[in-house]
């Protein structure tokens, strides 16, 4: 397995509040990775995303081992999300300089045959192959809820004034619920994780084309980031691409 990642502050923001990390263990054919998109003000959002990424990875390193079952990977991800939430929540208490901060989180453990993805907020995970692209995660956002109830069309959702309002985040409450997705993988599959700075500017079919037909996969994150920035880069952009 191979993995690449990058983050960019975009064209409109003065600070990058996204954070990410990835590690590939070639001896056990395992990859662990995470993206967090901070919320809660200029300084606080940055702190929240960095703290969540660091804690998430530290917690996973304690339990990751060769030959883990999907059940074991699922339990490991839930533990890592819970630990990250505890850390961010502890720092965001009322009265502190970081009060009210939080962050999205999308992370995964992947092997050549299976993957488990955890999600809180509106950062996303996709599975991509030559036949198409499929979004794995469901956004925890007001617009996603309105779409699910049939109160908005997909076109209306793109320009909705509250499209950036999320309904679930890490660190804003003492307890957090993360969605867990179990995947079977095949040779040639790609996993793509990203913050909404990519998906708010680049269409799914464009992501598919760049991953499958755009050229060397080690430059795919750069190509997608450039596309978002050419279109104004209104938000921070973070992408991780994992190939099986």
> Closest Cα partner for 100 from 139, 141, 46, 45?
45
With 90 as the cut, is the pLDDT of residue 169 above it? Answer: yes
Q: In percent, how much of the chain has pLDDT > 70?
A: 99
> Closest Cα partner for 133 from 243, 211, 45?
211
DSSP three-state, residue 173: coil
Tell me the per-residue pLDDT of 55-80, one tens digit each, with 9 for 90 and over: 999 999 999 999 999 999 999 999 99
Predicted confidence at residue 218, as pLDDT, reads: 93
With 80 as the cut, is the pLDDT of residue 159 above it? Answer: no
With 90 as the cut, is the pLDDT of residue 154 above it? Answer: no
Q: For residue 163, give both structure tokens.
A: 């499209």
**Residue with token string 């990977």:** 73
Contact 1, 222 (CB under 8 A): no
With 90 as the cut, is the pLDDT of residue 96 above it? Answer: no
Predicted confidence at residue 146, as pLDDT, reads: 87
Domain boundaries, the chain: 2-136+165-243
Long-range CB contacts (within 8 A, 24+) of 92-97? 92/40, 92/44, 92/48, 92/171, 92/172, 97/43, 97/44
Query: For 232-236, what is the mean pLDDT?
Result: 96
Give the model's confidence band at 100: pLDDT under 50 very low, under 70 low, under 90 confident, else very high. confident
Length, in residues, of the chain: 244
> Closest Cα partner for 86 from 167, 173, 211?
173
Query: For 197-212, what is the mean pLDDT?
Result: 97
Query: For 188-200, what is the mean pLDDT?
Result: 97
Give the model's confidence band at 43: pLDDT under 50 very low, under 70 low, under 90 confident, else very high. low
With 90 as the cut, is the pLDDT of residue 149 above it? Answer: no
pTM metric for this prediction: 0.95
With 90 as the cut, is the pLDDT of residue 19 above it? Answer: yes
Pick the CATH number of 2-136+165-243 from 3.60.40.10, 3.10.450.50, 2.40.160.60, 3.40.50.620: 3.60.40.10
With 80 as the cut, is the pLDDT of residue 215 above it? Answer: yes
Predicted confidence at residue 41, as pLDDT, reads: 67
């Amino acid at each position: 397995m191979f993995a690449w990642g990058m983050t960019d502050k975009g064209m409109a923001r003065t600070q990058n509040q996204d954070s990410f990390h990835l590690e590939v263990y070639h001896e056990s054919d395992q990859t662990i990775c995470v993206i967090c998109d901070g919320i809660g003000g200029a300084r606080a959002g940055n702190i929240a995303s960095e703290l969540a990424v660091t804690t998430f990875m530290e917690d996973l390193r304690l339990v990751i081992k060769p030959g883990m079952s999907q059940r074991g990977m699922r339990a490991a991800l839930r533990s890592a999300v819970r630990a990250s939430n505890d850390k961010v929540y502890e720092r965001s208490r009322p009265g502190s300089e970081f009060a009210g901060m939080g962050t999205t989180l999308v992370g995964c453990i992947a092997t050549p045959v299976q993957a488990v993805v955890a999600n809180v907020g509106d950062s996303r995970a996709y599975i991509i192959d030559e036949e198409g692209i499929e979004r794995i995660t469901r956004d925890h956002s007001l617009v996603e809820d309105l779409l699910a109830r049939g109160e908005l069309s997909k076109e209306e959702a793109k320009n909705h004034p509250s499209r950036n309002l999320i309904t679930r985040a890490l660190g804003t409450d003492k307890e957090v619920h993360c969605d867990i997705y179990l995947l079977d993988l095949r040779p040639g599959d790609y996993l793509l994780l990203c913050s909404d700075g990519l998906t708010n500017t680049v269409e799914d079919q464009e992501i598919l084309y760049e991953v499958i037909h755009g050229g060397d996969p080690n430059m795919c994150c750069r190509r997608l980031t450039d596309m978002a920035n050419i279109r104004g880069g209104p938000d921070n952009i973070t992408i991780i691409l994992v190939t099986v």
